[in-house]
Amino acid sequence: MAQDRVLIAGAGPVGLVAAAQLVRQKIPVTVLEAGDELSSESRASTFHPPTLDMLADLGAAASLIREGLKAPQLQYRSQDGVIAQFDFGVISDQTAHPYRVQSEQFKLTRILLDQLRNDECFEIQFGARVVGVEQDQTGVRVKVSANGRDEVRAGSWLVGADGARSEVRHALGIEFEGFTWPERFLVLSTPFDFDAVMGDLVSVNYVADPECWHFLLRVPGMWRVMFPVGQDVNDETATSPEFGQAQLSRVARCARKFEVIHTTLYRVHQRVAKRFRLGRAFLAGDAAHINNPLGGMGMNGGIHDAVNLTSKLAAVITGESADAELDRYDLQRRLITIESVQSQTIQNKRDLEATTEEAQREFRDRLRRIADDRDERRRYIERISMVASLRRAAQLG
């Protein structure tokens, strides 16, 4: 089996899900992680119902759910109160997990690594940054910078799951098409009790506001609150305690001292790689596509990439399918990314930031109409939970 070893760049959720999928089919895997250890950054914190189903197949969902928080409802609000609320229970006939789980992504990577660590088919190398890729019809050779020197790792296939600044994508010369939003996003994590000052909150709340839209996501022990930051505010000011305190005071509508556990400021992009496959190399997750976080679709879409790709790759390696089967990965996942993930997240942002009374009214009326119609409500929840995009992908190719 040595000639069938799959190299995976990146030990984030996407890379380790890909590894777990292959290892359970006895396909040897080497994960090359640029960091000296697994990332401890909070980053993504939402796991959608079909993603939890996939993780359950890997034996990882139960532990993640125990460490996280179930969120069966989602709410849209304005400063005047609730616009509409949706319950994932309406898709309980399509998933074993009719809820979102709010839990930082680093918890999943540790769960997966603990499961994989002692498997003879699994190998991980930390401090190993991919800096070059070569391939031919028989395999791939990856140039890795590790411990101050360059080395070459060889395998039959390569999965680039090494993030938005993917060295694999760069080495393959694949364009990353799209745009960058002019504003940055500020995320503040605080244990403040928003329930005490805001009525009827659920664990996932998107607040439309023409002056400063925001969302509040409850994770174990705290809230994550996200705001846009305009171009007129520099990075130093945006990450200052004073700026964060002012933003939180505005959300809570009260002036008090807020404890802030984490502060993160980042630029937001909507980009999709021009292709997800080039020969024996593939892109998945943020290496293949990035989007704004409204809707929690980025990491989930990446995990869906990993499961789609590795099921096809395993079938090719074991001789059950021809190599051409792998082209369906590019067709299915790239089109779904454009049709579903990109379009939905862009629409989410435009709805929340609507500035004219006409646009705000259209958003409110649309949401209420959907919430009041059983069939429309079901279709909407299928879409925002990513159940619909998976069904659509299965229909392609």
CB atoms within 10 A of CB 13: 28
Q: What is the mean pLDDT of residues 80-105?
A: 96
- Using an 8 Å Cβ cutoff, are 205 and 277 in contact? no
- Asked whether residue 31 carries a pLDDT value surpassing 60, the answer given is yes
Query: Please, which residues bridge with residue 278 across strands?
Result: 281
- Asked whether residue 301 carries a pLDDT value surpassing 50, the answer given is yes
Q: How far apart are CA 227 and CA 373, in angstroms?
A: 31
Q: How far apart are CA 193 and CA 200, in angstroms?
A: 13
Residue 190: the pLDDT is 97
Confidence band of 106 (pLDDT split at 50, 70, 90) = very high
- Asked whether residue 397 carries a pLDDT value surpassing 80, the answer given is no
- Using an 8 Å Cβ cutoff, are 169 and 281 in contact? no
User: What average pLDDT does the chain have?
Assistant: 94
Confidence band of 21 (pLDDT split at 50, 70, 90) = very high
- Around 349, how many Cα atoms within 13 Å sit in the side-chain half-sphere? 22
Q: What is the mean pLDDT of residues 145-157?
A: 91
DSSP label of 99: S
Residue 340: the pLDDT is 87
Residue 44: the pLDDT is 87
* Ramachandran assignment for 154, one of left (phi > 0), alpha (psi -120 to 50 degrees), beta (any other): beta
Give the burial class of 3: count Cβ atoms within 10 A of its Cβ; 0-12 exposed, 13-18 middle, 19 or more buried: exposed
Any residues with CB less than 8 A from the CB of 353 and at least 6 apart, and which? Answer: 208, 209, 210, 213, 228
Residue 80: the pLDDT is 86
DSSP label of 259: P
What is the tens place of the pLDDT at every residue in 369-391? 999 999 999 999 999 999 999 99
What is the tens place of the pLDDT at every residue in 188-243? 999 999 999 988 999 999 999 988 899 999 999 999 999 999 999 999 999 999 99
CATH class entry, domain 2-177+269-395 = alpha beta
Q: How far apart are CA 264 and CA 290, in angstroms?
A: 17
Residue 377 tokens, joined: 């409500």
DSSP label of 233: S
- Using an 8 Å Cβ cutoff, are 224 and 217 in contact? yes
Any residues with CB less than 8 A from the CB of 393 and at least 6 apart, and which? Answer: 304, 308, 332, 333, 335, 336
Q: What percent of the chain has pLDDT over 70?
A: 99
- Asked whether residue 293 carries a pLDDT value surpassing 80, the answer given is yes
Residue 3: the pLDDT is 58
- Using an 8 Å Cβ cutoff, are 11 and 29 in contact? no
Residue 2: the pLDDT is 45
From the list 329, 389, 345, 347, the residue with the least C-alpha distance to 157 is: 329
> DSSP H helical segments within the chain, as ranges?
13-23, 49-57, 61-67, 105-116, 167-172, 235-238, 241-252, 298-317, 327-329, 335-336, 343-352, 357-372, 374-384, 387-395
* Amino acid found at 114: D
Residue 110 tokens, joined: 């540790």
Q: How far is CA 205 from CA 32, 72, 195, 215, in A?
A: 37, 12, 12, 6
- Using an 8 Å Cβ cutoff, are 160 and 173 in contact? no
pTM for this model (two decimals): 0.95
Residue 279 tokens, joined: 């020969």
The residue assigned the tokens 């997966």 is: 112
Any residues with CB less than 8 A from the CB of 85 and at least 6 apart, and which? Answer: 73, 74, 75, 76, 202, 371
For residue 188, the Cα-to-chain-centroid distance in whole angstroms is 18
Residue 156: the pLDDT is 97
Confidence band of 254 (pLDDT split at 50, 70, 90) = confident
3-state helix, strand, coil in the chain (%, to 5): 40, 30, 30
Residue 95: the pLDDT is 98
- Using an 8 Å Cβ cutoff, are 179 and 272 in contact? no
What is the tens place of the pLDDT at every residue in 319-350? 999 999 999 999 999 999 998 898 999 999 99
